[in-house]
Each structure stands twice: as C-alpha cells, then as structure tokens.
Chain A
C-alpha cells in the first residue's frame, strides 16, 4: 500500500471480510473500505460453508465480522486496528 499525493490510500493489502447479510458492523466495515478505496473480498458465512468453518477455526469465536488484512485477523470492526493495518492516517 502507498499514499498518493492527495493523501488518500492506495491499498495493495489483501483484505477479506467474513460477514453475514444483516450484520451492521460488517456493513460499516464495507462502507469504510469503499470510502477509502480498499479492495476487499467478502465471504458470506451464512451460505459459504467452507468460509464459515475457516472463520470459526481461525478466530475461535462465532461473531461477525472477522476481517483478515494480510493474514492478520481483526475480530469485529475495530476501526483503529483496521486503520493501523491498512496504514490509513
């Protein structure tokens, strides 16, 4: 990831979000990624059995969202951690 002249973030990090369709914090996180031009892949764990098992196994809990930024897991939409991992000031 790097910063543009205008200060916005160009994000090269690999971002995954394990989510469910109605979850507020998942939607806040996705709105946040869009706002900051962060490309992400979404896994809806209510329909995707493999991602559900992966999320439960890796995070050792069953709350969504779980966000994976370059392999680092963030449980819940912990904005300050997401900011740090994405290098957003």
Chain B
C-alpha cells in the first residue's frame, strides 16, 4: 500500500499538517515519538489564539483527535530510516517499512545541552531538561535555570511556585523572553535572582548535584550551591533526515524551505522547528501555520506527481 503522505513528527507542525491532509482526503500516515513534541512539555499556553491558558499536553491531544477524526492514521514510533526513490519515500519504523508519494518532515529539533563533563551522569539527579515535569519536585529547594529566552523565563515562573529560591543564569546581557512573561517574573520579587553574563562552567556532584561553578563571581564566590539545575538553552536541528534525504540545510542544520514549505527534493516538505523559516521566532502558532501550508503543498504535489511513485515502486520482497 502506498500512502499519499507520510508525516514524521507528532508535535504541533505534524498534527496540524495531518489535520489539513485528512481534510484533503489524502491517505495519510503520521509517525512520531514521543507524542506531542515540545508543546506537550510547555505547560500553560497563553499565546495560541483561541485556546486561552490551555495546557500544552491537552492541546496536543485535541490536535491528535482532530487529525484522527479526518481519517489520519497515527503510529507511535521512532523513524530510523528514510529513503527517497523516484518520488517514492520509504520510511522505516520498528523494522517495518511504509511507502508514500509525499513526505513532510516535522521532527522539530533536539534540546541543546550544556556540554559539560558531569552533565549526563547527573541527569535527573539534579540536572533537568523539563522544568514543567521535574520543577515541582523541588519544593522548598534552591534551583537555577540556565537560559535567557522565553522557555527559560516561563520555566522560572513555574518552578518559583515550588522552590524557595531561583537563580536565572543568563549568558548574555539581556533577556529575550516575551515581555508579559518577564513581567510575571518581576512580580516574584527577591525569590528570583538574575545573573547576567554568567555561564555555568562546571557541574559538581557525585550521586546528585551539589553545586555549579560560574564564569564570574556572585556574592564573593564563583560556586553556587544548588539542589536543582534546569537547562533551557534552545535547540539544535537534528541532521539525521536531512542528511539521508540530501536536503538543503543552512549552516546550523535547519532545513531550507520555500514559501510553500518545499525543500530542494521533489515531494519532500518540512515545517515547524525543523526549519528556520521564521528565524528564531519558533512558536506553536508558526509551527501550526507551517504544517498547514506544507500539507496544502503536499496535496498539490501528490495530485500532479503522485503516479511517479506508483510507476517506480516495487514492493519489498
């Protein structure tokens, strides 16, 4: 069986593309793991029009239901292989191959890590990458958030509901968060201390995090004793699929798309945080919009070039 469209990624961009593709009556398979992408971990969402204060996980479940409702098939699994052959795309998940006439990549990007020696050993032992998940464990504790963007500030606002003291460690000279989220943070008063131009240079602890070393002194010391350290320093694109499909990428690895979300390979489209289409403005609203555009373009493409796949495709023996 050949699908009209396979979408990789069950985050906002993928689910939005699925919804549109289903409404175009394309035979669509959506593959992703873990479900919901970054939005499912984002906590309350206040800037997605029409969904005031919705919880990110619930929003993703609603989008999933919308896509299923228009006939989109969804499977949970990691794509391990992608192959393009004569306008046919062969996608491998858990050893099983699926074939489609068009492909949309919405695989987002990987969380950036600090890249420090002890970081992996102390992951979940004081060092965390999901503040909405693990922040509430730090009741009455001292924690730090690394990052200066919106996710970091939102994270500070959340973890402050539980921790007794929160340091925000910002490498640059200023914050790049939504002003409304910054105002929320300012209301927290002394509980939050922002250290600008401060990087973490060492993570210290044996069985659990004990302290970090900072690039500059604070209160006369460059060591900061902490119970928890949360890292929200952005993302790096995953080059796995762009390499295997020979897609054009920018110098950082983001997939290059035109205004119809088309890549340099016929029949392949990309949307959401896997691209840099809107620059550093990577949001739910932009990912959803790109997903919708990509599905519309895939629909046009499958109508005009779809037969090419049928002509060339030979089922696996």
Residue A14 CB within 8 A of the other chain: no
B207 within 8 A of A: yes
Interface residues of A in 37-53 (CB under 8 A from B): 45-46, 49, 52
B308 at the interface (CB under 8 A from A): no
A62→B137 CA distance, assembly (Å): 7
Interface: B130 (CB within 8 A): yes
**8 Å CB contact of A23 from B123, B130, B208:** B130
CA distance A20 to B208 in the complex (A): 20
What per-residue 1/0 map shows which CB atoms of B134-148 lie under 8 Å from chain A?
111111000000000
Q: Determine whether the beta carbon of B126 is less than 8 Å from that of A46.
A: no
For B139, the chain A residues whose CB sits under 8 A away are 46, 49, 52
Contacts of B136 in A (CB 8 A): 20-22, 45-46
A6 at interface by CB-CB < 8 Å: no
Chain B residue contacts of A63, Cβ below 8 A:
123-124, 128, 133-134, 137
Chain A, range 12-47, C-beta contacts under 8 Å to B: 20-28, 45-46
CA separation between A25 and B134, bound complex, in Å? 11
Report the contact-size class of chain B (Cβ under 8 Å from the partner). Answer: 20 to 34
Residues of A within 8 A of B138 (CB): 62
Write the nearest CB–CB distance from A46 to chain B, whole angstroms: 3
> Which size class do A's interface residues fall under?
20 to 34
> Is B266 engaged at the interface, CB distance under 8 Å to the other chain?
no
B299 interface residue per 8 A CB criterion: no
User: Within B115-137, which residues are at the interface with A (CB < 8 Å)?
Assistant: 123-126, 128, 130, 132-137
Q: Which of B33-41, B218-226, B240-248 contacts A (4 or more CB under 8 A)?
A: B33-41
CB atoms of A45 and B34 under 8 A apart: no
Task: Report how far A22 CA is from B57 CA in the complex, Å.
Answer: 8
B162 touches A62 (CB 8 A): no
Docked CA distance A52–B208 (Å): 16
Asked whether any CB of chain A lies closer than 8 Å to the CB of B14, the reply is no
Judge whether A24 and B137 touch: CB under 8 Å.
no
How many A-B residue contacts, CB cutoff 8 Å?
67
Q: Does B32 have its Cβ within 8 Å of any Cβ on chain A?
A: no
Q: Are B228 and A62 in contact (CB under 8 A)?
A: yes
CA separation between A52 and B55, bound complex, in Å? 24
- Which B residues touch A23, using CB under 8 A? 130, 132-134
B210 nearest CB across to chain A (Å): 13
Q: How far is the CA of A75 from the CA of B125 in the complex (A)?
A: 12
A4 within 8 A of B: no
Which B residues touch A24, using CB under 8 A?
34, 36, 40-41, 57, 130, 132-133
CA distance A49 to B57 in the complex (A): 25
For A65, the closest partner residue in chain B by CB is B133
Told that A45-B136, A62-B124 touch, could you supply 15 new A-B pairs with CB distance under 8 A?
A20-B135, A21-B136, A22-B41, A22-B158, A23-B133, A24-B41, A28-B34, A46-B136, A56-B137, A60-B207, A62-B125, A62-B134, A62-B137, A62-B208, A63-B134
| Chain A residues with a Cβ under 8 A of chain B | 20-28, 45-46, 49, 52, 55-56, 60-64, 75
User: B residues engaging A (CB < 8 A)?
Assistant: 34-36, 40-41, 43, 55, 57, 123-126, 128, 130, 132-139, 158, 162, 207-208, 228
